Amino acid sequence: MFLDPVRDLLTPRLVAPGPLWSLEPEFMERYGLQGAILDVDNTIVGADELEPPPEALAWLHDLRDRHPVWLVSNNFSEKRIATIAHTLQLPYRSRAGKPSRRTLREVLAVMALAPPTVAMVGDRLFTDILVGNRLGLFTVLVQPPVATGGGWGQRSRTLRNWEIWVARQTGVLL
């Protein structure tokens, strides 16, 4: 089927049952993962919030103790992403332009890990999952930490649902 390559590029290797912290910490070891790259908005923190929820903090502290972790965001606000990265004490890149591979390639070079051993964790199919699959990373789709509220968070969640609908039309099982 001509849509098969599209389907494969949009299919996460793993779909979390809920937000980031619904992933059991051992998922890294189970899938032979050595490092992780995480999206920020609606993955770690609601798109309209600046403070990551305590569950996200605890989950990331645990992960950071055991593996190299980077934040890679498409957000154009360097200040916002820098603030969140500082709170989490993690290296970061903003304005990444996912699904472009450029920024992730730079981060992977610094991590010095083979792509299949690196998790790409994010909430969006057309940015996080697409770029991760293009680079051969282990892609993980998570649900946004905040399910309510208006503003950009609401628009982003609507877009996320639309992407999932489109992906399903190409045969992605979600």
- 104-133: contacts with Mg ion (CB under 5 A): 123
Task: Name the residue nearer to Mg ion (CB basis): 34 or 100.
Answer: 100
By CB under 5 A, what part of segment 55-114 binds Mg ion?
none
| Among 10, 23, 28, 39, interactor with Mg ion by CB under 5 A | 39
How far are the Cα atoms of 89, 165, 169 from residue 57, in angstroms, in the given order?
Answer: 10, 31, 35
Candidates 10, 12, 41, 119: give the one binding Mg ion (CB under 5 A).
41
What sections of 89-150 are H helices per DSSP? 102-111, 130-134
Structure tokens of 93? 């890149």
In the complex, what is the shortest distance from the CB of residue 3 to Mg ion, in angstroms, rounded to a whole number? 25
Amino acid at site 86: H
11 vs 74, beta carbon nearer Mg ion? 74
Nearer to Mg ion, 67 or 124 (CB): 124
118-122 and 35-38 strand pairing: parallel
3-state helix/strand/coil string of 29-67: HHCCCCEEEECCECCCECCCCCCCCHHHHHHHHHHHHHC
| Nearest-approach distance from CB 5 to Mg ion, in angstroms | 24
Does residue 42 interact with Mg ion by CB under 5 A?
yes
Give the residues across from 12 on adjacent strands.
Answer: none
> Is residue 163 near Mg ion by the rule CB under 5 A?
no
Residues of the shown chain interacting with Mg ion in the complex, contacts defined by CB under 5 A: 39, 41-43, 123
